[in-house]
Amino acid sequence: MAVSKDIVTWVEGAWHRGNAPMIGAADHAAWLGSQVFDGARQFEGVRPDLDLHSARIIRSAEAMGMIAPVDAATVQGLLEEGCKMFAPEAELYLRPMMWSRESCPGIIDAEPDSTGFAICIEALPMPEPGAFSLTVSPFCRPRPDMALTEAKAGSLYANNARIMAEARARGFSNALSLDVNGHVAETASTNVFMLRDGVVFTPVPNGMFLNGITRQRVIELLRADGVEVVETSLTLADFDAAEEIFVTGNIAKVMPVARYQDRDLGPPRMGARVRDLYWDYALSGRG
Predicted confidence (pLDDT) at residue 287 exceeds the cutoff of 70:
no
Nearest to 163 by CA among 143, 136, 183, 184: 136
pTM: 0.95
Q: Could you report the per-residue pLDDT of 47-60, keeping only the tens digit for each?
A: 999 999 999 999 99
What does each C-alpha distance from 60 to 64, 215, 236, 284 come to in angstroms? 6, 18, 30, 29
- What amino acid occupies position 169? A
CA 198, CA 227: separation in Å to the nearest integer? 8
The one-character DSSP state at 103 is B
Strand partners, 249: 253
User: What does R_g of the chain's alpha carbons equal in angstroms?
Assistant: 19
Q: Sketch out the chain's domains with CATH numbers.
A: 7-123 (3.30.470.10), 133-283 (3.20.10.10)
pLDDT of residue 163: 98
Predicted confidence (pLDDT) at residue 2 exceeds the cutoff of 70:
no
Indicate the average pLDDT of the chain: 96
Average pLDDT over residues 188-204: 98
DSSP state string for the chain:
--S-SSEEEEETTEEEESS-----TTSHHHHH--EEE--EEEBTTB-TTHHHHHHHHHHHHHHTT---SS-HHHHHHHHHHHHTTS-TT--EEEEEEEEE--BPTTSSSBPTT-EEEEEEEEE-PPPPSS--EEEE-SPPPPPTTTS-TTS-BGGGHHHHHHHHHHHHHTT-SEEEEE-TTS-EEEESSSEEEEEETTEEEEEPP-SSS---HHHHHHHHHHHHTT--EEEE---HHHHHT-SEEEEEETTTEEEE-SEETTEE----HHHHHHHHHHHHHHHTT--
Q: Could you report the per-residue pLDDT of 76-124, keeping only the tens digit for each?
A: 999 999 999 999 999 999 999 999 999 887 778 899 999 999 999 999 9
Predicted confidence (pLDDT) at residue 1 exceeds the cutoff of 60:
no
Nearest to 207 by CA among 157, 158, 156, 151: 151
CA 173, CA 164: separation in Å to the nearest integer? 8
Average pLDDT over residues 50-73: 97
